[in-house]
Amino acid sequence: MEFHVKGGNPEKQRTACVVVAVYEPRKFSAAAVQLDQASDGFLTNVVRRGDMEGKLGQTLMLFNVPNCQCDRVLLVGCGREREFSLPRLRQVVTTATKALDSGGSTDAVYCLADLAIKGHETASRVTQVVMAAEGALYHFDALKSTKQSQRRPLRKIVLNIANRDELPACEQAAREGQAIANGVALARELGNLPGNVCTPTYLANAALKMGKRLKRLKVQILEQAEMEKLGMGALLSVARGSREPPKLIVLQYRGGAKDDKPVALVGKGLTFDAGGISLKPAPAMDEMKYDMCGAAGVLGAIHACAELALPINVVGVIPSSENLPDGAANKPGDIVTSMSGQTIEVLNTDAEGRLILCDALTYTERFEPTAVIDLATLTGACVIALGNHAHGLMSNHAPLAHELLTAGRAIHDRAWELPLWDEYQDQLDSNFADMANIGGREGGAITAACFLSRYTKKFHWAHLDIAGTAWVSGKEKGGTGRPVPLLVQFLLQRAGTKH
């Protein structure tokens, strides 16, 4: 999709469709008032007849609106003005965009970024409109034998802004929205690919391709032999149960000065998690193809950084493997030695994410990062604690946690902090090794983070448990691309281009 930002009168727009908002009950937005006045009360007459109450999600397409240069006017209901919010703006944009795409409009002017929302400036709303419009038209058909395609798809959206002084900021905001949306789409696509296609090798190749296409991005793949040399006994123990070779994918984006210390993003890349010898039950096991969504999030976020040419350095580290039962697989009770030298008793082979992440975290030390953020579909317990709306956030550095929470609120991809207190650490005690890889049912998301905290003492670190947020189940099953928006917002804040 092509996006432009413009200031201008809605009635003067030569376009297939002008989109304006109506709040409940029948209250026009400023742009709708303008159209109404230009058309001598045409819109007033329409709502008076009862066709548009302004309820959230309602739409009404109008043709032949007098004195307007456009072919159509789409009225979209936005609910009560006082209750209007970022998620509602996204919902309205999604509805409008789907209607236009299937309704034959190839271009449109959206008068929606001007709708006031407490705590969010016009520019931040522009970012949301772009993200939502791109997200609305995403569908996964890579593996359908016939692709669904519109006869006259929507190709160009102009965001209309009343105040011309805001144009430069809004143009930048649209570019950011586009870059985030592209990163989100990449993450969704990789997540949706099945385990027999998206293997560790596939992920490595996807990263290599990105490295070839994007400026200032260098990608390197560490093979099993190199991981053996480094002593990554925990990561390799998981990979032993699979016929697919493991990969450690390392991305280096250098947008900053040569000696600027980077931010590191570490993503769990389990391309299929059957649980290993501690085999998972059958229902919904297919969803464990999404166990690489941390990896997909790292690739999506770095893609956005490179597209925006952010003036910072970012490193991505992705340990990737399958977790399957096999004669060579980890067995409950096995003890493995991690790259850090600490030994781990594998009491449950299904707690494999932390095993591959701990070695990746130790490896990350060599970049002397200013902050390390890992993202992982790590625990079912996090889904129980927070549901599907908030990422679980645990950190060893309060200011870093605060930065991430703030970024999440700003872009509406929110995280919620869980405590990482020392008291929880005892649950990982083992009679036979330095630690066990599980800490019991109680506080399962926290004890998983406690495990990781033993490998992150040398830097400021935050852990995002995205088990509940990286994909949705049910009829609309599919990757969400989260937490790419949060991460890019955080990196934008760090790059100082946003405050």
Q: Which residue lies nearer to ligand BES by CB, 107 or 350?
A: 350
Q: Does 357 bind ligand BES (CB under 6 A)?
A: no
Among 39, 379, 480, 489, binds ligand BES (CB under 6 A): 379
Q: Which of 54, 18, 58 is nearest to 38 (CA)?
A: 18
Q: Does 59 bind ligand BES (CB under 6 A)?
A: no
For residues 106 and 97, give the distance between their C-alpha atoms in angstroms, rounded to a whole number: 11
Among 11, 244, 273, 413, binds Zn ion (CB under 5 A): 273
Q: Does 95 bind ligand BES (CB under 6 A)?
A: no
Which of 240, 289, 354, 498 is catalytic? The answer is 354
Q: Does 465 bind Mn ion (CB under 5 A)?
A: no
CA distances in angstroms from 178 to 128, 214, 471, listed in the order given: 10, 16, 21
Q: Which of 456, 403, 292, 270 is nearest to 349 (CA)?
A: 270
354 catalytic? Reply is yes
Q: Does 136 bind ligand BES (CB under 6 A)?
A: no
Q: Which residue lies nearer to Mn ion by CB, 176 or 350?
A: 350
147 catalytic? Reply is no
Both tokens assigned to 422: 């020392």
Size of the site for ligand BES (CB under 6 A): 16
Q: Does 465 bind ligand BES (CB under 6 A)?
A: no
Q: What is the closest distance, in whole angstroms, from the C-beta atom of residue 424 to Mn ion in the complex?
A: 20
How would you label 151-186 residue by residue, b for 16+ Cβ within 10 Å and e otherwise?
A: eeebeebbbbbbeeebeebbbbbbbbbbbbbbbbbb
Q: Which amino acid is at 442?
A: E
Q: Which of residues 329-388 bind Mn ion (CB under 5 A)?
A: 350, 352
Q: What is the contact mask toward ligand BES in residues 382 to 411, using x (rule: CB under 6 A)?
A: -x----------------------------
Among 11, 101, 166, 273, binds Mn ion (CB under 5 A): 273
Which 3 state secondary structure label does DSSP give 314? Answer: strand
User: Which region among 11-19, 291-299, 442-450, 453-461 touches Zn ion (by CB under 5 A)?
Assistant: 291-299
> Which helix (H) or strand (E) segment is 18 a member of?
strand 18-24
Q: Which of 245, 298, 242, 241 is nearest to 268 (CA)?
A: 298
What is the bridge-based pairing of β-strands 27-28 and 18-24?
A: antiparallel
Among 76, 351, 375, 433, binds ligand BES (CB under 6 A): 351
For residues 400 and 395, give the distance between their C-alpha atoms in angstroms, rounded to a whole number: 7
User: Which region among 196-204, 327-335, 348-356, 462-470 touches Zn ion (by CB under 5 A)?
Assistant: 348-356
Q: How far is CA 314 from the centre of its chain?
A: 17
Q: What is the closest distance, in whole angstroms, from the C-beta atom of residue 415 to ligand BES in the complex?
A: 16
Q: Which residue lies nearer to ligand BES by CB, 136 or 467?
A: 467
Which of 156, 216, 261, 280 is catalytic? The answer is 280
For residues 382 and 390, give the distance between their C-alpha atoms in angstroms, rounded to a whole number: 10
Q: Does 291 bind ligand BES (CB under 6 A)?
A: yes
Q: What is the closest distance, in whole angstroms, from the C-beta atom of residue 284 to ligand BES in the complex?
A: 8
Q: State the residue for tokens 């625990």.
A: 379
Q: Which residue lies nearer to ligand BES by CB, 101 or 291?
A: 291
For residues 206 and 186, give the distance between their C-alpha atoms in angstroms, rounded to a whole number: 10
Q: Does 348 bind ligand BES (CB under 6 A)?
A: yes
Q: Does 353 bind Zn ion (CB under 5 A)?
A: yes
Q: What is the closest distance, in whole angstroms, from the C-beta atom of residue 172 to ligand BES in the complex?
A: 36
Which 3 state secondary structure label does DSSP give 220? Answer: strand
Which 3 state secondary structure label does DSSP give 106? Answer: coil
For residues 490 and 263, give the distance between their C-alpha atoms in angstroms, rounded to a whole number: 10
Q: Which of 33, 35, 45, 30 is nearest to 13 (CA)?
A: 35
Q: How far is CA 174 from the centre of its chain?
A: 17
For residues 48 and 87, give the distance between their C-alpha atoms in angstroms, rounded to a whole number: 28
In the list Mn ion, ligand BES, Zn ion, none, the entry touching 201 (Cβ below 5 to 8 angstroms by class) is none
Q: Which amino acid is at 407?
A: A
Q: What is the closest distance, in whole angstroms, from the C-beta atom of residue 196 to Zn ion in the complex?
A: 17
- Residues that are catalytic: 280, 354
Binding site for Mn ion (CB under 5 A): 273, 350, 352
Binding site for ligand BES (CB under 6 A): 273, 291, 348, 350-353, 377-381, 383, 438, 444, 467
Binding site for Zn ion (CB under 5 A): 270, 273, 291, 353
